[in-house]
Amino acid sequence: MLFFLGVLVVVVGVALSIALHEIGHLVPAKKFGVKVTQYMVGFGPTIWSRRRGETEYGIKAIPLGGYVRMVGMLPPRPGDEPGELRTLSTGRFSQMVDQARADSMEEIHPGDEDRVFYKLSPGKKIVIMLGGPIMNLVIATVLITGAITIFGLPQVVPRVGLLSACVPTTTPTLAAPQPDCKPGDPVAPAKAAGLQEKDLIVSIDGRAVSSWDQVTAAIRDSKGRDMSWVVERGDRQVPITITPAVIERATFDDQGNPVAEDGKPVLSPMGFAGITPRQELVTTPLAQAPKFVWDRTVDTASIIVKIPQKMAGVVQAAFGSGERDPNGPISVVGVGRIGGEVAALDIPADEGGNWLKLEQLVLLIASLNLALFVFNLVPLLPLDGGHVAGAAWEAVKKGWARLRNRPDPGFVDVAKGLPIAYAMSLVLITMSVLLIYADIVKPINIFG
């Protein structure tokens, strides 16, 4: 039941994000006087609609997108009068472009000649087309800021999580860099010293502790000598003496992967106490939220830039024996499944419980909005960035003409980019189908 509730939360979040994205286009379009005939959330058959003034507002059956229909998105062919396009051209692409021009003009009625999109100034075109992506960025910023400043983020703190039962004597391998206990292994030093789960580590050898890195560094460099710890247990401070064991352990790189040579892990002698850290929700100061949002945006952009090469891995995983990249692209089906898994997690109340699950769902929807923001900025039709690029080029041409006292060069004919738009649409559809298939047959496993 919780799984389906999580899926429902994600579906509603996706639908609202799409609806607000289209409002980002709708509001400035109406503000600038463009005639808007439709505002639709979803694709396919219309399941509900209502007309308000000249605009039909509605919801369609497939909630995988949406659109705002503005009249006159494409200019007439140079030399033609608006509304009097030639109906015959040679070449399949030319016919397709002419048909697109005709469709763009078909809803222009007497009195609407100056309410077309293509006659707007380049600046107004850019504002309208950036309205959708900017709305997604605003949604993501609000959700992320609220989550990290109100609920907080799970962070490793200098508090004892789990205690190991033993000092492992098995030699680490690449397959098992952290060996398990086996009968006869000596008791782990932390357990033998009486350390308990949830103990807060206050100091080690008289030095105050504020992070888990300080704890691991002190244990690693102890070389088997006695260590004097002070831990906070309940409302009292308890002194504890721990003597870490010295064992050969695998070393790890900055990404957390075992370092290997000749197919074997690189081992190093280090102290071992047998404790793992605990995670707690730690709130982020409001002043640090912009940097956090910026970092997540940069991370999202880096993933989207690598989508072409990552799609090869998706295909190999879906149709072969490979595993999915947890940092690779996923479809809305995959996002919904992750939302369901988050809702179904069994998280103790003292570790966040339902609040942590709700926060993770909020951050999941925020991540989706960041992806929509970045992806729609790609300067190719039919994405918003393609229209922005056309308007920016028009501004450059007009500005250059004014500087040289040349006649106004007129509107940039974005219709010439329609063959690219058709190809791009085919690529997007193919990617979506592949990702949906992969998310069904070989889903990304982020919870182990």
Q: Which residues are catalytic?
A: 22
**Residues whose CB falls within 8 Å of the CB of residue 415, separated by 6 or more in sequence, listed in order:** 74, 75, 77, 97, 100, 101
* The two three-digit tokens of residue 116, written as one number: 């077309």
Long-range contact pairs involving 429-434 (C-beta distance under 8 Å, separation at least 24): 431/307, 431/311, 431/329, 432/64, 432/331, 434/311, 434/314, 434/315, 434/318
* The two three-digit tokens of residue 416, written as one number: 């010439």
* The two three-digit tokens of residue 320, written as one number: 């072969």
Strand partners, 237: 232
Q: What is the dihedral of CA 146, 150, 153, 154, to 10 degrees?
A: -150
Give the residue from 378, 316, 356 showing the smallest Cα distance to 129.
378
Give the residue from 274, 250, 269, 254 showing the smallest Cα distance to 174.
250
Give the residue from 41, 38, 34, 36 showing the smallest Cα distance to 17.
41
Assign 3-class secondary structure to 76-102: CCCCCCCCCCCCCCCCHHHHHHHHHHH
